[in-house]
């Protein structure tokens, strides 16, 4: 019992008691045994510690292999992913040097290319809430009517397909135009594929997006019909369909709005357009309008200004008119200029260069009669008259040969009127007799 107690004291407290002698059995042998056990335990712990250290080193070494792969190798691996093939050039297309895309007008277009080019983007690299260490590049060629952006850090790679400028990573993360891959997963899946090296050779770093855009901007005439056509195709995508322009045959023009009042019917309670703001509009009114500003970086800011100020608040609620004017100008939609095909531009330019003039003049020269006067107004409005909301009076002709009629709401209150001249030109007035629009 004493022997057990003694060994327990030595093992647990490691206390050496000087000046005391315990003669219990083979004390010397017990001490040697104890020392041997301690040494054995120490060696076991040391061995275990060394083993753990080796395991950790091996694990760390295994992990460190993935972050050391190049950006081009990472991109090459993503091009082999099936869920990316409809949005980005695929591995097979890159090796073949061509791909087929569908234009906004539904046309199948085959494009040839030699390399997949990465252009660093200083602006995108200033993006708010971007992942730590992530670098962004523009990818050319793009496989659709959008800019293709790729972002890479040591852990993941993301693709963003966008037609708008991006200021905050959180705004696009998880959207249907955003695809993310874990680099470790990609590496484990594709590391043995012989295509990777061939694909890397077809990927190159080009000029930065800023330098490239600067060159493009210097060659772009922003006062040309071709540029206006691009703006229209960007802001109103329906014009990418040939049927829209062919059926409507609009006549459009671009004009500066700088210094003009946003709400011309309440000038004291609105704001003036700042420098550089322009408008594309024309006839018929149903052709729509685009109020925009060129941002000199391949994008435009589009402002949601109404073409008609039908809402009475624009005229009667001064505070609302002021705040709504400020809201519109402070919250533009930033859009990347649409990469239109030559056919789309040629078709759209016809709206600006007077090609449709003779056809429109033929239509305008048609004599206005009781039978077609409503057609003229509906052509101006771009839709059938709203007989569910308003009651329209019978059109009458005055001494000047002009036709006109008014309309009331369901309570019998005057809501507005139209005057149609002999050439079919429509002028619209509100319930107070103020002009609110015109066209044909």
pLDDT per residue rounded down to tens, the chain (440 residues)? 444 434 343 333 333 333 333 333 344 444 444 444 454 454 444 444 444 444 444 434 444 456 578 999 999 999 999 999 888 999 999 999 999 876 555 667 788 899 999 988 777 888 899 999 999 998 998 887 788 999 999 999 999 998 777 889 998 998 989 999 999 999 999 988 999 999 999 999 987 655 555 555 556 788 899 999 999 999 998 888 765 555 667 788 999 999 999 999 999 999 999 989 999 987 777 778 999 999 887 889 999 999 888 888 999 999 999 999 999 998 888 888 888 888 888 888 888 876 655 444 454 457 889 888 998 898 888 788 888 889 999 999 998 889 999 999 989 999 999 999 988 889 999 998 888 888 77
Give pLDDT, residue 246: 57
Cis ω before 141 (30° cut-off from 0): yes
In sequence order, which residues have a C-beta less than 8 Å from that of residue 255 and are 6 or more positions away? Answer: 278, 279, 281
Residue 244 is predicted with a pLDDT of 55
- The per-residue pLDDT for 247 is 60
3 state SS for the chain: CHHHHHHHHHHHHCCCCCCCCCCCCCHHHHHHHHHHHHHHHHHHHHHHHHHHHHHHHHHHHHHHCCCCCCHHHHHHHHCCCHHHCCCCCCHHHHHHCEEEEECCCCCEEEEECCCEEEEECCCHHHCECCCCCCEEEEEECCCCCCEEEEEECCCEEEEEEECCCCCEHHHHCCCCCEEEEEHHHHHHHHCCCCHHHHHHHCEEECCCHHHHHHHHHHHCCCCCHHHHHHHHHHHCHHHHCHHHHHHHCCEEEEEECCCCECCCCCHHHCCECCCCEEEEEEECHHHCCEEEEECCCCEEEEECCCCCCCCCHHHHCHHHHHHHHHHHHHCCEEEECCCCCHHHHHHHHCCCCCCCHHHHHHHHCCCCCCCCHHHHHHHHHCCCCCCCCEEECCCEECCCCCEEEEEEECCCCEEEEEEECCCCCEEEEECCCCEEEEEC
pLDDT at 31: 44
Residue-level pLDDT at 252: 87
Measure the CA angle with vertex 186, ends 183 and 192; round to 5°. 130
pLDDT of 9 reads 37
* pLDDT at res. 22: 32
Structure pTM?
A: 0.44
């Amino acid at each position: 019992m004493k022997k057990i107690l003694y060994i327990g004291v030595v093992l647990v407290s490691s206390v050496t008691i000087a000046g005391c002698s315990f003669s219990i059995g083979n004390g010397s042998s017990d001490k040697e045994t104890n020392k041997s056990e301690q040494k054995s335990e120490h060696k076991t712990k040391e061995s275990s510690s060394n083993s753990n250290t080796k395991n950790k080193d091996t694990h760390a070494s295994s992990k460190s292999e993935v972050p050391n792969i190049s950006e081009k190798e990472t991109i090459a691996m993503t091009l082999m992913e099936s869920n990316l093939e409809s949005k980005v050039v695929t591995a097979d297309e890159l090796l073949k040097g061509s791909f087929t895309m569908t234009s906004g007008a539904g046309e199948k277009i085959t494009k040839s290319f030699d390399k997949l080019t990465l252009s660093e983007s200083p602006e995108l690299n200033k993006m708010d809430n971007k992942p730590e260490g992530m670098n962004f590049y523009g990818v050319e060629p793009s496989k659709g009517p959008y800019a293709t952006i790729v972002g890479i850090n040591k852990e993941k790679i993301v693709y963003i397909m966008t037609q708008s400028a991006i200021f905050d990573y959180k705004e696009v993360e998880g959207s249907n135009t955003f695809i993310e891959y874990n680099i470790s997963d990609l590496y484990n899946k594709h590391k043995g594929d012989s295509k990777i090296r061939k694909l890397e050779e077809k990927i190159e770093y080009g000029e930065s997006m800023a330098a490239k855009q600067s060159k493009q901007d210097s060659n772009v005439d922003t006062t040309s019909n071709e540029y206006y056509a691009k703006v229209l195709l960007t802001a109103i995508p329906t014009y990418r369909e040939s049927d829209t322009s062919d059926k409507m045959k609009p006549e459009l023009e671009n004009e500066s709005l700088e210094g003009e009042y946003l709400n011309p019917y309440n000038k004291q309670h609105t704001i003036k357009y700042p420098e550089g703001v322009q408008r594309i509009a024309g006839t018929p009114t149903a052709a729509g309008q685009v109020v925009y500003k060129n941002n000199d970086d391949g994008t435009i800011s589009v402002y949601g200004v109404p073409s008609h100020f039908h809402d009475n608040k624009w005229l009667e609620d001064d505070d609302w008119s002021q705040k709504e004017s400020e809201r519109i100008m402070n919250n533009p939609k930033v859009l990347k200029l649409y990469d239109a095909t030559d056919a789309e531009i040629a078709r759209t330019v016809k709206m600006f260069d007077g090609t449709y003039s003779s056809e429109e003049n033929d239509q305008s020269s048609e004599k206005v009669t009781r039978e077609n006067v409503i057609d003229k107004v509906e052509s101006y409005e771009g839709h059938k008259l709203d007989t569910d909301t308003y009651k329209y009076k019978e059109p009458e002709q005055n001494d000047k040969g002009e036709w006109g009629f008014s309309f009331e709401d369901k309570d019998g209150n005057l809501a507005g009127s139209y005057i149609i001249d002999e050439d079919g030109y429509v002028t619209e007035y509100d319930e107070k007799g103020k002009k609110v629009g015109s066209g044909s």
